[in-house]
Amino acid sequence: MGVAKYSKDKRGAIQEVELHSGIKVKASYGPEDLERVGFEYQQDLGQPGHYPFTRSLHPLGFRSREWTVRQYSGFGTPSETNERFKLLIAHGQTGLNVAFDLPTQMGYDSDHPLAEGEVGRVGMAVDTLADFEAAFQGIDLAKVGSGLTINAVAAIMLAMYEALARRWGVDTARISATPQNDILKEIIGRGAWIFPVRPAVDLVGDLIEYATAQGHLPRCNPVSVCGYHIRESGATPAQEIAFAFGIAFAYLDNVMARGYGPDQVVERFSFNFNIFGNLWEQVAKFRAARKLWARLLKERYGVREAKALFLRGLFGGGGFGLTKAQPENNIVRGAYYALAAALGGAQTTALCSYDEAYTIPTPQAALLSLRTLQILMDEMGLRDTVDPLAGSYFIETLTKEMEGKILEEMERVERWGGMVAAVESGEVQRLVASQAFQWEKDLLEGRRVKVGVNKYTEGGSQAEVELHQYSEESAARQVASLQEVKRGRAQREVARCLGDLEKALKDRRNVMPILVECCAAYATVGEMAGVMRQVLGEMKEPSIF
């Protein structure tokens, strides 16, 4: 039950099932259902690795390549985070997914008054290039790719990653990094924004243009559009995909307005999608999304290159689905979320650890999540055949119906004037917030079931969770390190670079080359973001109530 709504007769037999996206599920399915929804084999399914890519991006699916495992990690100082990175890599993790603390996300240095009590609390503290040197010490940037979970100052973080590679003599054509760089979802779903909507979108465009069309970072994915957080904030699975596509098209349009063709940039767009709730709805969501992304790019933008039509990204399971009640149940939930990712054809996946509803995961919890993914990949047969649910009357019907629901939600955004206008006015935020309120009300009143929370609450596991303790000493070390860097750097070079950044912003030039210079000179995140604040201003949140 849970995410779906159920109606029952007097004997308790299920009479009707309605998924979160509004799709009604029948008791059984047959060929007549495929005919009802207009399913056509070649148009809607086709062969694996071929347009419209419903089944897989690659002809042999997971037979030809394992999915990348990229657990989200980072806390405290960069040195502490480096230890966790190395632990995960030593146990088989194949990529990094970096968590940054709140001051870093908001463009404040660790010694800023607003950073007090938050330095290193929910992620790694980063102030200067020296912190990246410590965080990635001993890690081969040419072999291990990194996701950088940062948005408002994503351009600064990717510039810092490039500056690090240059300092260590690593060919920047070989480094692979994926900054999240999705400010529109941040405004909709998380709140870590800084700049007004349109200048913030321009910064996203600067990073995309620099990495792709201008060719500076040919193996980096300059944006990871995050339906994940929008879903966590109250969106349905269909809205998660629809709003993510609307956001992606807004960024694509921004770069195309600079004179570039879509094929030059869209091939390295990536996505981050969520998994929790009904297994079949999640699988149908991913299959429909792959098909629809390829079709819309081909029909709306004239994209022809096959690789440019790929919907690539991370399908991750799903913090919102975890509970504080009976926390060990989250181990089971995580395994099912991983199953949905595999059946949905994930390229990259990650699991929230079972204790993440409480705290930053312990090393043991993080390794358990990693092992869950590895067991699924190596023991359970998920790599044996491509798209094992293909041809199911139920799954193909549900995928087709999900496609229709996604298009309905995209049309709603168009009626609001497009995604940028809809975010500026608060329309998307208003809808998502109202749905989140209704969701919680349904849980409280028992209309949606959450095991251990409002059903089967007695006798379940009440295991204690080891809490990650915030360290004032760790924060003090970070501030001391920052002050030492400031004393030892070339102050005139820092001032020159920051002056060039201010001029580039005022002239509306791409800021990425200047940011790389700033990072190489050990300018701080706060100093660079401060110049941006001064020139671009700060966002005023629209009223949604």
In this structure, is residue 166 part of a structural domain? yes
Q: pLDDT grade, residue 75 (50/70/90)?
A: confident
pLDDT at residue number 462: 63
Burial-class residue 30 by CB neighbours within 10 Å (0-12, 13-18, 19+).
exposed
Whether the Cβ atoms of residue 272 and residue 438 lie closer than 8 Å to each other: no
Distance CA 318, CA 232 (A): 8
- 35-50: b or e for each residue (b if 16 or more CB lie within 10 Å)? eeeebeeeebbbebbe
Range of the domain at 406: 5-444
pLDDT at residue number 273: 96
Q: pLDDT tens, 409-464?
A: 999 999 999 999 999 999 999 999 999 999 999 888 888 889 999 988 887 666 67
In this structure, is residue 494 part of a structural domain? no
Per-residue pLDDT, averaged over 483-496, amounts to 98
DSSP state of 382: T
Total number of domains in the chain: 1
In this structure, is residue 305 part of a structural domain? yes
In this structure, is residue 454 part of a structural domain? no
What average pLDDT does the structure give for the chain?
93
In this structure, is residue 487 part of a structural domain? no
Amino acid (one-letter) located at 196:
P
Percent of the chain with pLDDT over 70: 99
- Asked whether the CA dihedral 127, 133, 136, 142 is positive or negative, the reply is positive
What are phi and psi for residue 451, nearest 5 degrees? -60, 130
- DSSP E strand stretches across 143-268: 145-149, 177-179, 223-226
Per-residue pLDDT, averaged over 135-148, amounts to 94
Q: Regarding beta strands 14-18 and 24-25, do their DSSP bridges make them parallel or antiparallel, or are they unpaired?
A: antiparallel
Whether the Cβ atoms of residue 383 and residue 66 lie closer than 8 Å to each other: yes
Distance CA 377, CA 217 (A): 31
DSSP state of 122: S
Q: Which residues contact 166 (CB under 8 A, 6 or more apart)?
A: 172, 516, 520
Burial-class residue 162 by CB neighbours within 10 Å (0-12, 13-18, 19+).
buried
The CATH number given to whatever domain includes residue 275 is: 3.20.20.240
SS3 content of the chain, % helix, strand, coil (to 5): 50, 10, 40
pLDDT at residue number 1: 39
pLDDT at residue number 318: 79
Tokens for 543, please give them.
Answer: 């009223």
In this structure, is residue 478 part of a structural domain? no
Q: Residue 52: is the preceding peptide bond cis (ω within 30°)?
A: yes
Whether the Cβ atoms of residue 176 and residue 211 lie closer than 8 Å to each other: no
In this structure, is residue 84 part of a structural domain? yes
Whether the Cβ atoms of residue 18 and residue 24 lie closer than 8 Å to each other: yes
User: Looking at the predicted structure, is the pLDDT value of residue 6 above 80?
Assistant: no
Per-residue pLDDT, averaged over 6-10, amounts to 73
Of the listed ranges 398-402, 471-475, 483-487, 510-514, the one predicted with least confidence: 471-475
Rounded to 5°, the CA angle 359-363-366 comes to 75
Distance CA 408, CA 402 (A): 10
What are phi and psi for residue 329, nearest 5 degrees? -60, -25
Tokens 């924060």, residue located: 475
Tokens for 11, please give them.
Answer: 């004997």
User: Looking at the predicted structure, is the pLDDT value of residue 539 above 50?
Assistant: yes
- 380-409: b or e for each residue (b if 16 or more CB lie within 10 Å)? eebbeebbebbeebbbbbbbbbbbbbbbeb
Whether the Cβ atoms of residue 311 and residue 352 lie closer than 8 Å to each other: no
User: Looking at the predicted structure, is the pLDDT value of residue 527 above 70?
Assistant: yes
Distance CA 540, CA 544 (A): 12
Amino acid (one-letter) located at 370:
L
Q: Which of 139, 251, 254, 240 is nearest to 189 (CA)?
A: 240
Q: pLDDT tens, 159-198?
A: 999 999 999 999 999 999 999 999 999 999 988 999 999 9
Per-residue pLDDT, averaged over 346-361, amounts to 87
User: Looking at the predicted structure, is the pLDDT value of residue 375 above 90?
Assistant: yes
Percent of the chain with pLDDT over 90: 79
Q: Which of 376, 336, 330 is nearest to 352 (CA)?
A: 330
User: CB count, 10 Å around CB of 460?
Assistant: 15
Of the listed ranges 139-153, 391-405, 408-422, 438-452, the one predicted with least confidence: 438-452
- Asked whether the CA dihedral 413, 414, 419, 422 is positive or negative, the reply is negative
Q: Which residues contact 499 (CB under 8 A, 6 or more apart)?
A: none
In this structure, is residue 462 part of a structural domain? no
Quote the radius of gyration of the chain (alpha carbons, Å): 23
Helix axes 237-256, 279-301, angle to 10 degrees: 20
Q: pLDDT tens, 273-297?
A: 999 999 999 999 999 999 999 999 9
Q: pLDDT grade, residue 348 (50/70/90)?
A: confident
